[in-house]
Amino acid sequence: MEAASHPERLAFLRSSPLFSGLSEEVLRGLEEESRLLTFSQGQMIFSQSDKAERFYIVVEGWVKVFRITQQGREVVIGVFTRRQNFAEIAALAGESYPANAAAVTKAVLLGIPVSWIKTQITKEPQTALTMLASISRQVHGLVDQIETLKGLSATERVVEFLVAQSSVDEGMSAVHLPHEKSLIASRLGMKAESLSRVFHRLRDHGVIVKNDVAIIKSLETLRKFAEIERRNSKN
């Protein structure tokens, strides 16, 4: 379902790592062709084997990409949230989606038509080089994140995650979480039980999880706690 026009859509594209290197003219053309779409919690975005005619950037909410095994078990491949893009490889390669995607929460996505991208590349090949460079930076960034994640304790991982998801830099913050907390655990490389224990521990440091919202009383306090955790883990 298409949402109403988003006043900050162009600014959102400018700040997207995938398109940050494109010219203003190209970005404006992309903004005109893109579609802002809303999905309710649990709604399918695409199914495995559907033709990949567009890829997506998350504006708000959470999305999971998953496959179903022959035994009927769901295997989550990736979890995506604000400013993260997904399905771009399949779309740009002209293939079918290799997995399913569904909204974990109510989600607003920016749908990018691959046909427009390919037309733009034909007119201006530099567009392809710019996007390839952006994708390369994203891959390197992901590798760095994985390496950093391995060196952090469970508590440090959760704190880093909460701070990164906050829409403000200081003071009180409310971070919206997917109902399926196991998705967060999977993204952070830990078990769901470990995540629950960390959330319980963080209560003493100003973090209260109520249903699908993590209320952080003070980001400054949480960061200081993370610094203490980091120092202790090195000793």
**Complete DSSP assignment for 101-150:** EEESSSEEEEEEEHHHHHHHHHH-THHHHHHHHHHHHHHHHHHHHHHHHH
123 CB contacts (<8 Å, ≥6 apart)?
A: none
Q: Which CATH architecture has domain 9-146?
A: Sandwich (2.60)
d(CA 118, CA 92): 8
Architecture of domain 151-234: Orthogonal Bundle (1.10)
Beta carbons of 71 and 120 less than 8 angstroms apart: no
**Helical axes 126-150 vs 114-123, angle rounded to 10°:** 120
Predicted confidence (pLDDT) at residue 145 exceeds the cutoff of 70: no
Q: What is the pTM of this model?
A: 0.76
Which pLDDT value is given to residue 57? 92
Q: How confident is the model at residue 82 (pLDDT cuts 50, 70, 90)?
A: confident
Residue 77 exposed, middle or buried by CB count within 10 Å (0-12, 13-18, 19+): middle
- Which residues are within 8 A (CB) of 109 and not within 5 positions of it... i.e. 6 or more apart? 36, 37, 38, 39, 45, 56, 57, 58, 59, 63
Q: Does residue 143 register a pLDDT over 80?
A: no
Q: How far is CA 38 from the centre of its chain?
A: 16
Q: By the 8 A CB rule, do 26 and 127 touch?
A: yes
Is residue 141 very low, low, confident or very high in pLDDT (cuts 50, 70, 90)? low
pLDDT at 4 over 50: no
The Cβ of residue 65 has, within 10 Å, a number of other Cβ atoms equal to 20
Q: Look at residue 97 in the predicted model and tell me its pLDDT.
A: 95
Give residue 177's pLDDT band: very low, low, confident or very high (50, 70, 90): confident
Spatial CA neighbour of 104 closest among 76, 129, 134: 76
Each domain of the chain, given as residue ranges in start order, spans 9-146, 151-234
Q: CA 36 to CA 217: how far, in whole Å?
A: 32
Average pLDDT in the 40-51 region? Answer: 95
Contacts of 98 (CB under 8 A, 6+ apart): 48, 67, 90
Q: Kindly state the percentage of the chain with pLDDT values over 70.
A: 91
Q: Give me the mean pLDDT over the 193-218 stretch.
A: 92
